[in-house]
Amino acid sequence: MDIKKIMVIGAGQMGGGIAQVCAQAGFDVKLNDIKEESYAKGLAVITKNLSRNVEKGRMTEDEKSAVLGRITKSLDLQDASDVDIVIEAAVENMDIKKSIFAKLDEIAPQHAILASNTSSLPITEIAAATKRPEQVIGMHFMNPVPVMKLVEIIRGLATADDVYKAVEDMTVKLSKTPVEVNDFPGFVANRILMPMINEAIYTLYEGVATEQAIDEVMKLGMNHPMGPLQLADFIGLDTCLYIMETLHEGFGDSKYRPCPLLRKYVKAGWLGKKSGRGFYVYE
């Protein structure tokens, strides 16, 4: 299967990044969002990223223009009617994702692959909302997408081998490293990362050490580029909580129980960097 035309659903941080790397790799990309202002904001971030690459000598002004020229605006899912793959990067909510995939199943061509950038939700359940479960797959990009090399490729229960191969080949063309993962809650990345972050929050909650001390231990002692509490702030504490709840529900194991302090911060609206306050205060 030869993938040429791509639609990315969601022009936020993840969707915008996915659209950027696809366009940089030479693919024609329709960037879809339900709001005009969200699309405009997403395109502005892509333009800023590309301008930074020009300033650093990584690309020319002409190359930047060519990349932007391969991205077209979409405010309607009907625009998926002629694409080879759709990569959904909407909000991390199963009901919303199933609704999107059910609509895409009606709109997208018969040969089209339907992929989700979900970081923790079951691909098999998303696929069940369609009549083509063998063509549904997970493509979990890491944040920030233009920088991070990993893409977890998640097979659902019914995902066909040729669909997996097509997505794997496309991922390599994006200058990313594909890693095959089976469909379990949290996949690999978040199943390991989130309990570590949750345990760091418990360490703070129990008064073992301050935020700064916990992060310093992990940076200097484990050679992590960023401490777990600072990383949680960058991911978004609401996202961290949602993934922990998905793990807890999916496995029914108390080791995945979200820390009460994490719940308290989310209820207070302290969501991390995006809200100006989480474990740290951001100007």
Spot the catalytic one: 92, 117, 140, 211: 140
Cis preceding-peptide flag for 144 (omega within 30 of 0): yes
**51 in catalytic set:** no
Strands 136-141 and 150-155: antiparallel
End-to-end Cα spacing for the chain = 48
Spot the catalytic one: 116, 152, 198, 211: 152
Whole-number Å distance between alpha carbons of 117 and 19: 12
**What type of residue sits at position 142?**
M
Spot the catalytic one: 120, 190, 198, 211: 190
**190 in catalytic set:** yes
Spot the catalytic one: 119, 120, 198, 211: 119
Q: Which residue has the tokens 């959904």?
A: 88
Whole-number Å distance between alpha carbons of 234 and 39: 22
**65 in catalytic set:** no
Q: How many CB atoms lie within 10 A of CB 241?
A: 22
**143 in catalytic set:** no
Q: Which residues are catalytic?
A: 119, 140, 152, 190
